[in-house]
Amino acid sequence: MFYIDLNVKLCKTKQVNKMSEIKTKEYEKPENIINPNSKFSIEVDNLRKVFNAKKGYDDVIAVDDVSFKVKSGEIFGFLGPNGAGKTTTINILIGLLKATSGTAIINGYDVQDGLYHIKQLIGVCPQEPAIFKFLTGKEMIELFGGLHSMNKAEIKERTNKLLDILNLSNASKRKTKGYSGGMLRQLNLIIALIHDPKIAFLDEPTVGMDPRVRRATWEFIRSLKKTNKTIFLTTHYIEEAEKLCDRVAIIDYGKLIEIGNPKELIEKYSVNNLEEVFMKITGRRIMEGM
């Protein structure tokens, strides 16, 4: 009985594999083959997410017709005020939420049906750390390394490296139950990057970290670029986003209102830094009394 069941499952997986191979080929547009550098890691088209409220309350349009593309090897900053729709967008891209309409393609796979493949490629640092309290930091990292099919030696080497960078080596031997807020966030980030993902979604990775760790984190994120990793980053540290990101998108009330290279944006709005660009173009609706 069990054997039969297993076989059926195996067959199914194979079929899925074949199907998605066909899918990938479909997505590989001719221009990508001509110019491999133009291959996009993330392609978002007219993405919309409406949270339907209970009767008597207004629906929330969290993401409103957003389109953008992120190139492979790019550090892409996704900026916007609180409640702008950043986390919602990420949750759609990583398959936790279903979009109301529009498409999202990660590395050639549609999030609608290619999620299994996407999950092997991505690393996610969620805005809220989710950590098993009864495990030590190290065990928690090993769990996720194992889920990503890394072998023991790989996990060990990479864990030590990341713990070192984030200065968490000592604490990692303790149960996470007693971790401080910042330590939980550090661990949260390590878990996201343990398997050296091709594409990393980092949702405010440095919140609550002390300045030293934060700086080390930014340096590390910068170093990932050298290995051609794509980073999709949200942060409220606009100054650091300005230094770090190849391009930024600014989103407000679910709408993408600006996208481009930080320097170009600063020039375009004739201001001194990216934060001023941010201040200038976000929250307009508040000022306009909406």
Partner 1 sequence: MNFKRIRVLLKMELLKIVREPAFLFLMLLFPAVLTIMFGFIFADPEFGMSMETVAPGLFGYACIFIIMIVAQSFTEMRDQGLLKRLNISPMTSGDFMASEIISNMIMVIFQVIIVYLLALPFGFNPNTKVLGMFLAFLLMIVFSLSSVGLGLITATISKSSGTATGLSFIFILPQMFLGTFIPVTATTKPIAMFMPSYYATNALSAIFSGDLTNSWIITGFTFITIVSLIIIIIGMFLFKKFGNK
CA distance 18 to 1: 26
81 CB neighbour count, 10 Å cutoff: 16
Based on CB atoms, which residue is closest to partner 1, 9 or 18? 9
CB of 19 to Mg ion, least distance (A): 34
CB of 273 to partner 1, least distance (A): 34
User: With CB cut-offs between 5 and 8 Å by kind, which of ligand ATP, partner 1, Mg ion, none does residue 124 bind?
Assistant: partner 1
Based on CB atoms, which residue is closest to Mg ion, 87 or 107? 87
CB of 107 to ligand ATP, least distance (A): 23
Based on CB atoms, which residue is closest to Mg ion, 71 or 236? 236
- Look-up: residue for tokens 């944006």? 265
Measured CA to CA in angstroms, residue 158 lies from 164, 171, 225 at distances of 10, 17, 17
User: With CB cut-offs between 5 and 8 Å by kind, which of Mg ion, ligand ATP, partner 1, none does residue 147 bind?
Assistant: partner 1
CA distance 29 to 43: 13
CA angle 64, 67, 73 (to 5 degrees): 135
Asked if 127 is part of the footprint of Mg ion (rule: CB under 5 A), the reply reads yes
Based on CB atoms, which residue is closest to ligand ATP, 85 or 137? 85
CB of 225 to partner 1, least distance (A): 23
Asked if 143 is part of the footprint of partner 1 (rule: CB under 8 A), the reply reads yes
Q: Footprint of ligand ATP on this chain (CB under 6 A)?
A: 51, 60, 62, 80, 82-88, 127
Q: Are 78 and 205 in contact (CB under 8 A)?
A: no
Question: Residue 111: which residues within 8 A CB-CB, separation 6 or more?
Answer: 92, 93, 94, 95, 99, 104, 105, 118
Based on CB atoms, which residue is closest to partner 1, 183 or 265? 183
Q: Is 161 exposed, middle or buried (0-12, 13-18, 19+ CB in 10 A)?
A: middle
Question: Residue 127: which residues within 8 A CB-CB, separation 6 or more?
Answer: 87, 203, 204, 207, 234
Which residue among 40, 64, 68, 87 contacts Mg ion (CB under 5 A)?
87
Which residue among 32, 48, 72, 146 contacts partner 1 (CB under 8 A)?
146
> Sheet containing 255-260: which strands, arranged edge to edge?
122-125, 199-203, 230-234, 75-79, 247-252, 255-260
CA distance 104 to 68: 10
Q: Which amino acid is at 30?
A: P
CB of 221 to partner 1, least distance (A): 19
CB of 242 to partner 1, least distance (A): 29
Which residue among 95, 137, 205, 254 contacts partner 1 (CB under 8 A)?
95
CB of 219 to ligand ATP, least distance (A): 24
**How many CA atoms within 13 Å lie on the side-chain side of 71?**
15
CB of 203 to Mg ion, least distance (A): 6
Based on CB atoms, which residue is closest to partner 1, 77 or 95? 95
Q: Which of residues 120-139 bind partner 1 (CB under 8 A)?
A: 120, 122, 124, 126, 128, 130-132, 134-135, 139
The pattern of x and - marking residues 104 through 123 that bind partner 1 according to CB under 8 A reads ------------x--xx-x-
Q: Are 220 and 246 in contact (CB under 8 A)?
A: no
Q: What is the contact surface with Mg ion in residues (CB under 5 A)?
A: 86-87, 127
